[in-house]
């Protein structure tokens, strides 16, 4: 892979830092990797090798501050910065170290109102396994839900069509699936990939800018998703949807909320698309099947509850 290679991090606002640290450590099973003088707490999933992927900070309102994608190298970062500026987007260079163990980041605001950044370097701290003759897991992978990586985000905001142009024409993503609006003359939601994953990011049309629908964490198997549901119930986590299967992406899922009301997903499956694949289209009258294939139910919360 070249260019933009994967989702790298998301910074999310929480209402009570101590409660959230306990939740993300004990229930989600993320690994805390540091804290900074801004009061932010850094986490990674156990099988991620870079220092951090999920950052929380305490605030009066839940939601997402920004998200970042990792690019291949510094030369790629410089070129993409020029490409974004040539497209007409204003960019800001965030200094190395502003985000713990992370190099310079190129930050810009999308038409949907979300702050996105690109970066090339983040300190590699490994996944707890040796680089020679490693085992398949270790004790950290058994604590809590224990997802293997931050997989993707779904973000809500206006002007999704303009976002799509930026991701396709500048950042090199391709459109994997889409849901048409009720009139059939535009897109209500889009799923985009920069890799062979079924999606690396998704956007849905929404009147308010900059909203977080969910951050998604990858599980190894359907059994691990069901185990995540057990852990959610044992810890009285508020569940939104699932366990179920999407028609869109074919992924298996549970959606739930953290203590601050930020939705998260435990996700597995999906097919492996390539850039030459034809985009799959869902009509709005079949959106319910796309969301919850077994029940064919368009859950109201999915459309209306965001942070």
For residue 32, the domain's CATH number is: 3.10.180.10
What are the pLDDT tens digits along the chain (307 aa)? 789 999 999 999 999 999 999 999 999 999 999 999 999 999 999 999 999 999 999 999 999 999 999 999 999 999 999 999 999 999 999 999 999 999 999 999 999 999 999 999 999 999 999 999 998 888 767 899 999 999 999 999 999 999 999 999 999 999 999 999 999 999 999 999 999 999 999 999 999 999 999 999 999 999 999 999 999 999 999 999 989 999 899 999 999 999 999 999 999 999 999 889 999 999 999 898 899 888 888 888 988 999 9
Query: In DSSP terms, which residues pair with 221 in a beta bridge?
Result: none
In the prediction, which pLDDT does 137 show? 84
Question: Are 35 and 174 contained in the same domain?
Answer: no
265 is catalytic: yes
Q: Do 17 and 136 fall within a single domain?
A: yes
197 and 228 belong to one structural domain: yes
Q: Which of 9, 51, 114, 199 is catalytic?
A: 199
d(CA 32, CA 18): 13
The predicted pLDDT at position 74 comes to 97
Exposed e or buried b per residue across 6-18, where buried means at least 16 C-beta atoms within 10 angstroms of its C-beta: bbbbbbbbbbebe
Residues 122, 248 within the same domain: no
Q: Which of 107, 142, 177 is the last residue of a domain?
A: 142
Q: Is 246 a catalytic residue?
A: yes
User: Among 95, 111, 142, which residue terminates a domain?
Assistant: 142
Q: What does the pLDDT read at residue 295?
A: 86
Within the chain, strands assigned E span 4-14, 31-35, 41-44, 54-58, 63-71, 92-94, 105-109, 115-119, 149-157, 174-180, 187-193, 201-205, 211-218, 239-245, 251-257, 263-269, 280-282
Q: Are 116 and 107 in contact (CB under 8 A)?
A: yes
The first and second tokens of residue 244, run together, are 């179920």
pLDDT of residue 85: 98
Total domain count for the chain?
2
What backbone torsions phi and psi does residue 108 show, to the nearest 5 degrees?
-155, 165
Question: Which of 48, 101, 117, 265 is flagged as catalytic?
Answer: 265
152 as an active site residue: the answer is: yes
Q: Are 119 and 8 in contact (CB under 8 A)?
A: yes
Query: Do both 156 and 299 map to the same domain?
Result: yes
pTM equals: 0.96
Copy the structure tokens of residue 240.
């939104």
Q: What pLDDT does residue 293 have?
A: 87
276/281 Cα distance (integer angstroms): 15
DSSP category for residue 121: -
299 with 154, same domain?
A: yes
> And the tokens for 67?
């998200």
pLDDT of residue 297: 86
Count Cβ atoms within 10 A of the Cβ of residue 262 and give its class: 0-12 exposed, 13-18 middle, 19 or more buried: buried
* 114 catalytically annotated: no
124 and 168 both lie in a single domain? no
Do both 73 and 138 map to the same domain? yes
Question: Domain span at residue 181?
Answer: 149-304
Q: Please tell me which residue in 152, 177, 205, 206 is annotated as part of the active site.
A: 152
Cβ contacts of 88 within 8 Å, gap of 6 or more: none
Q: Looking at 142, 174, 190, which one is the last position of a domain?
A: 142
Pair 85, 118: CB distance under 8 Å: no
**Do 90 and 214 belong together in one domain?**
no
Residue 258 contacts by C-beta under 8 Å, 6 or more apart in sequence? Answer: 14, 20, 23, 24, 264
Same-domain check for residues 123 and 158: no
For residue 253, the model assigns a pLDDT of 96
d(CA 173, CA 191): 10
User: Are residues 254 and 161 both part of a single domain?
Assistant: yes
| Nearest CA among 155, 199, 194 for reference residue 76 | 194
Same domain, 154 and 300: yes
């Amino acid at each position: 892979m070249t260019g933009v290679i994967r989702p790298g991090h998301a910074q999310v606002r929480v209402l009570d830092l101590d409660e959230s640290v306990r939740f993300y450590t004990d229930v989600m099973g993320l690994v805390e990797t540091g804290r900074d003088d801004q009061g932010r707490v850094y986490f990674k999933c156990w099988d991620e090798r870079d220092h951090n992927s999920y950052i929380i900070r305490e605030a009066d309102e839940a939601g997402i501050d920004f998200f970042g994608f990792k690019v291949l190298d510094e030369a790629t970062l410089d070129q993409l910065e020029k490409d974004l500026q040539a497209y007409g987007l204003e960019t800001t260079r965030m200094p190395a170290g502003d985000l713990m163990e992370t190099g310079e980041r190129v930050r810009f605001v999308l038409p949907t109102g979300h702050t996105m950044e690109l970066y090339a370097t983040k300190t590699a701290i490994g996944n707890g396994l040796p680089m020679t003759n490693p085992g398949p897991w270790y004790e950290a992978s058994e604590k809590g839900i224990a997802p293997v990586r931050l997989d993707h985000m779904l973000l809500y905001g206006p002007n999704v069509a303009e976002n799509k142009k930026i991701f396709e024409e500048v950042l090199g993503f391709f459109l994997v699936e889409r849901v048409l609006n009720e009139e059939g003359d535009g897109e209500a939601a889009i799923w985009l990939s920069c890799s062979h994953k079924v999606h690396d990011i998704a956007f849905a049309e929404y009147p308010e800018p900059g909203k977080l629908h969910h951050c998604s964490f990858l599980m190894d198997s359907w059994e691990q998703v069901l185990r995540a549901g057990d852990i959610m119930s044992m810890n009285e986590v508020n569940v939104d949807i699932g366990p179920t299967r999407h028609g869109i992406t074919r992924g298996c899922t549970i959606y739930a909320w953290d203590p601050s009301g930020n939705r998260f997903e435990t996700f597995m499956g999906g097919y492996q698309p390539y850039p030459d694949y034809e985009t799959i289209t869902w009509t709005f009258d079949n959106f319910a099947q796309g969301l919850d294939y077994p029940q064919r139910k368009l859950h109201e919360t999915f459309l209306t509850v965001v942070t």
